[in-house]
Amino acid sequence: MAKVLVFQHVAAEPLGTLDPLLRNRGHRIRYVNFHRNPDAKPDIGRYSALIVLGGPQMPDQGKRYPYLLEEMRCIEAALKRDIPVLGICLGAQLLAYTLGGGVRPMDEWEIGWYDLRPTPQAAADPLFCALARPHPVFQWHGYTFDLPAGAVHLARSDSCENQAFRYGSHAYALQCHLELDERLINRWLNLPEYLEDLTANCRRADADTIRRQTHELIGQSAALSFEIFGQFLHPLGERRSRLVLPSR
C-alpha cells in the first residue's frame, strides 16, 4: 500500500476519477489544500507519489501565492527521488515551470471539449499509447507552457500545442482535465467564478452547450482516464487480496 500526496488549490478541483482508482488499489491519500493552509510544508520523503491538481492560480504568481514556490520545491524533490509525479492543468504548468519551461497566457482560452491528438512519440509511451487517435477531452485553462528541455512531447490540441509530456520515467504533465467526471463539470458550470471565466473568455460554447456535450462525451473521457491513470499508478502496486483457503 502506497501513500500518495495530493496538492489541491480549490475545493472544486479534487481528484475526480483518480480517487476511486487510488482507493481501489488500497493506497492512502493525503490532501494538502494550499488555499486553506497556505503555510503548509509537506515532506515529500514520506510519500510514494505526488499528484498536483488544477486551480485558478498561475505558476509565475509566486509573489502573490508564495505556496506555489513550496509546491515547486516539493516537485523538484519528488523528481530527484524518481517517484511518480502527475501534474494536471495548473499542476502540469508547475511541473513544466519547475523544469525550466516557460509559462504564458494563451491568445484564446480553451474551455469545453476539444480533441486531444497524440504526437508520434505517444505510441511508445506506457501511458499515452492509449491515445491512439484524436480523443475528446475537457479543458479549462487560459495559460500554456513551453516544453521543458529533455521532456517527451505526448499530446497536442489544435489550439494548444503542448497538452502533455513525460519527463524521465515517471513524471507526467496533462494540461487537460482528464480527471473530471460529469458531476464535477456540472458543478463548475454552476459556480459563479467559473461562469465568469466562461463568459469572459470563451466564445466557442455557453454553459448549456457544454453540459450537453459533456453528457455525450464523458463516457469516452472516463475510459481514457481509466487507461492512462491506471497505468500511471501501476508502479505503486496494488493491494493484495486476502487469500481464502478451502475448508477441509
**Number of domains present in the structure of the chain:** 1
Listed range (44-48, 59-63, 127-131, 142-146) with the worst mean pLDDT: 59-63
CATH code for the domain in which residue 92 is found: 3.40.50.880
Question: Within a domain: residue 25?
Answer: yes
Spatial separation of the C-alpha atoms in residues 102 and 60, rounded to whole Å: 9
What integer pLDDT is reported at residue 204 of this predicted model? 85
Question: Within a domain: residue 245?
Answer: no
What integer pLDDT is reported at residue 243 of this predicted model? 35
What integer pLDDT is reported at residue 241 of this predicted model? 46
* Mean pLDDT of the 137-154 span: 97
Does residue 240 register a pLDDT over 60? no
Q: CA separation (Å) from 234 to 23, 49, 190?
A: 13, 11, 35
- Report the length, in residues, of the chain: 248
Question: Within a domain: residue 23?
Answer: yes
Spatial separation of the C-alpha atoms in residues 71 and 40, rounded to whole Å: 10
Q: For residue 213, what is the enclosing H or E element?
A: helix 207-233
Question: Within a domain: residue 124?
Answer: yes
Question: Within a domain: residue 247?
Answer: no
Nearest C-alpha neighbor of 135 from the set 152, 150, 122: 122
Question: Within a domain: residue 177?
Answer: yes
What integer pLDDT is reported at residue 80 of this predicted model? 97
Does residue 235 register a pLDDT over 90? yes
Supply 3's cell numbers.
Answer: 501513500
- Interval 79-114: pLDDT, tens: 999 999 999 999 999 999 999 999 999 999 999 999
The domain of 106 spans: 3-236
Does residue 239 register a pLDDT over 80? no
Question: Within a domain: residue 183?
Answer: yes
CA dihedral 148, 150, 152, 153 (to 10 degrees): 30
